[in-house]
Amino acid sequence: MVACQGGGYTASGPGGWDRLPTPVLPVGLEYLPLEGAGEVQTPFKLPRDCPRLELGDPVILQHAKAGELCERFNHLLLIQGGRVVGRVPTYRGAGQAFL
């Protein structure tokens, strides 16, 4: 088990598992049956072959919709093969607001 600080942002619309961010790294993380992505903490079940995680190690989630991130952050990190390969501004980071 690992508990993450926060858990990303649930996509707008009707509630459901398809609105939760998908755990991407480390590979094989699973939500608990009675838990989802939380604003304060999010617990995950670790796969048996998961490398050891230390306090502060990143856990990467892919969000169901980009808007939740683009409204809150100035930049998004681009990840390929488990490594950060770039950084791009969001519309918020470009000084735009649509709401």
Backbone phi and psi for residue 77, each to the nearest 5 degrees, phi listed first = -90, 140
8 Å CB contact between 3 and 56: no
Task: Look at the pTM and tell me if it is higher than 0.85.
Answer: no
Are 46 and 58 part of one and the same domain? yes
| Number of compact structural domains in the chain | 2
What string of DSSP letters covers 37-56?
--SSEEEEEPPTTPPPP-TT
Average pLDDT score, the chain: 87
Q: How far apart are CA 71 and CA 93, in angstroms?
A: 9
Mean pLDDT value of segment 61-72: 84
Question: Tell me: the pLDDT tens digits for 70-96?
Answer: 888 899 989 888 888 999 999 888 888
pLDDT digits (tens, 9 = 90+) for 3-33: 998 888 888 888 888 889 999 889 999 999 8
Same domain for 75 and 50?
no
10 with 46, same domain?
A: yes
Query: Are 55 and 72 in a shared domain?
Result: no
Residues of the domain holding 74: 66-99
Q: Are residues 70 and 99 in the same domain?
A: yes
Instruction: Based on the fold, state whether residues 12 and 57 are members of the same structural domain.
Output: yes
The 10s digit of each residue's pLDDT in 33-60 is 888 887 788 999 999 999 889 998 988 8
**SS3 state at 69:** helix
pLDDT at 99: 67
Question: Same domain for 14 and 38?
Answer: yes
